Amino acid sequence: MNSWQIGNVRITKLQEQELAWNGTMILAQGTADNVKREGEWLQPFVDKQGKFLVSIHSLLVESEGRRILVDTCVGNDKNRPGFKDWTNLHLPYLATLQKAGFSRESIDTVVCTHLHLDHVGWNTMLENGRWVPTFPKAKYIMAQREWDHWSEYEGLPDFKNSIDDSVRPVVEAGLAELVETTRRLTGEVWLESTPGHTPGHVSVRISSGGENAVITGDMMHNPIQIAHPDWICEFDNDPRLASDTRQKFVERYCDQAVRVLGTHFAGPTGGHIVRRSGAFHFEA
Ligand SMILES: [Zn+2]
């Protein structure tokens, strides 16, 4: 289990699964050759065959007595015919939370960085044939702009179904709070607007006791995009805006004492953006 102390804030990685995927499933340029060309700095985030290691995890942020769960992975029992790795799972995610000391009832806030299927799955669980909120005492925070987009969405069936089985039930239960993309959650934690991958996509900023961190969300998927912010993700809703957001993010956090925690970064997950001989790299 990885965890980080940022001033008074504790952040804990709660992993649901880790997969090795051909990088080209995410980025057209994510070929094994391009991976090998990057060299050693990228090694913790790829395998020996040059595939991307893709971690699916939540990050639990403890701040000022609050327990804020950022993203809820793929979930169990969900039917996702277009994503074989993610259909009808029976993974011990809730046991992982429990083992780390977090009961479902103790989570008071869930943040969805965006409403893609691998970020909202554990928003709900199957109980007597019905999808019910997994975290009954939590407010589920999502950007108004994000909900407006997805609640009307009529495209890929799996993306649409995940709204119906993992997001709509928490909205209908009155647990969703639709917010601006810069909403402050505590004195130490706030949302930062990082649009492009989806229209209302947010990252999560943490600042406490002079220490700083940022949780990326899917503004990027693998640290190779730090070196190449212009490489477009297959699932970027607005590729040009996504690329522009990534470029600005990399420049803003480069050579700063800000720990970057990648929502899909495997292995060490956290590190710093640095400039080495004119190129951007990620140092775990
Ligand atoms: Zn994702």
Q: Is the dihedral of CA 11, 14, 19, 20 positive or negative?
A: positive
Q: Band of the pLDDT at 1, cuts 50, 70, 90? A: low
> pLDDT (tens digit, 9 = 90+) per residue, 200-248?
999 999 999 999 999 999 999 999 999 999 999 989 999 999 999 999 9
Residue whose structure tokens are 């609050």: 66
Q: Which residues contact 50 (CB under 8 A, 6 or more apart)?
A: 23, 31, 32, 33, 35, 36
> pLDDT (tens digit, 9 = 90+) per residue, 121-176?
999 999 999 999 999 999 999 999 999 999 999 999 999 999 999 999 999 999 99
> pLDDT (tens digit, 9 = 90+) per residue, 250-268?
999 999 999 999 999 999 9
Q: Band of the pLDDT at 271, cuts 50, 70, 90? A: very high
Q: Would you state the pLDDT for residue 277?
A: 87
Average pLDDT for residues 173-184, to the nearest whole number? 98
Q: Band of the pLDDT at 22, cuts 50, 70, 90? A: very high
CA distances from 58 to 2, 42, 82, 231 (A): 11, 22, 23, 25
Per the CB < 8 A criterion, the answer to whether 282 and 272 are in contact is yes
Kindly list the protein residues that place their beta carbon closer than 5 angstroms to ligand 1, a single-atom ion.
118, 218
CA of 119 to the centre of ligand 1 (A): 6
CA of 264 to the centre of ligand 1 (A): 7
The overall average pLDDT reported for the chain is 97
CA of 4 to the centre of ligand 1 (A): 21
CA of 69 to the centre of ligand 1 (A): 15
CA of 14 to the centre of ligand 1 (A): 15
CA dihedral 15, 20, 23, 27 (to 10 degrees): -30
CA of 277 to the centre of ligand 1 (A): 31
Per the CB < 8 A criterion, the answer to whether 267 and 44 are in contact is yes
